[in-house]
Amino acid sequence: MPVKIRLQRHGKKGKPYYWIVAADSRSKRDGRYLEKLGSYNPNTNPATVELNVDGAVQWLQNGAQPTDTARTLLSYKGALLKNHLAGGVKKGALTEEQAEAKFNAWLEEKTGKIGAKADNLAKAEAEAKAKALEAEKAVNEARIAAAAPVVEEEEAATEEEAPAAEEDAKAEAETSNEEE
């Protein structure tokens, strides 16, 4: 029975969520599987990958062939590296402790890179929000400045109209007094 390590799609339309499974290659994409090894969520940034590394290594050692995308995810989480190191231990090139030390060093470095990327994304988002706030403040100040002269002109116009109206009233009063 040829076994593949592949992705099984879940989630709703437009929001995919995948399970990483070991399945018979003849079974349907979302059909029966032998073992669930983890999950993959491409909707987050950076993408979330949860994987049972030891289970994946066990399937790889038993001859399971990962698909291209599954191979990428296994490499991302270090399952292929751990499988490679296990092969070195079997051949006698490494001891179990050396292999474990190399894998842990790689894992710490990878975790640091992922953390740095998440920090950079958060920093970029914060900067974008700050720039948007500054732009909004500038637009609001421009609106206030544009509205202020209009209000002042209206006040000036009403002030000019008021003396003119008083003069008109006096002129009318004088003409009415002369008529009497």
48 Cβ contact partners less than 8 Å away, ≥ 6 residues apart: 39, 40, 41
**CB of 27 closer than 8 Å to CB of 2:** no
Which residue, among 66, 18, 20, has the nearest Cα to 43 in the 3D structure? 18
- Please report, for residues 106, 158, 160, 177, the alpha-carbon distance to residue 173 in angstroms, rounded to integers and kept in the order given: 99, 22, 20, 6
Give the pTM. Answer: 0.68
- Annotate 53-89 with DSSP letters as a single string: HHHHHHHHHTT-EE-HHHHHHHHHHTHHHHHHHHHHH
Render each residue's pLDDT in the chain as its tens digit; 180 residues: 799 999 999 999 999 999 999 999 899 988 899 999 999 999 988 889 999 999 999 999 999 999 999 999 999 999 999 999 998 988 888 888 899 899 999 999 998 998 998 899 999 999 999 999 999 999 998 888 888 776 666 666 666 665 555 666 666 666 665 555
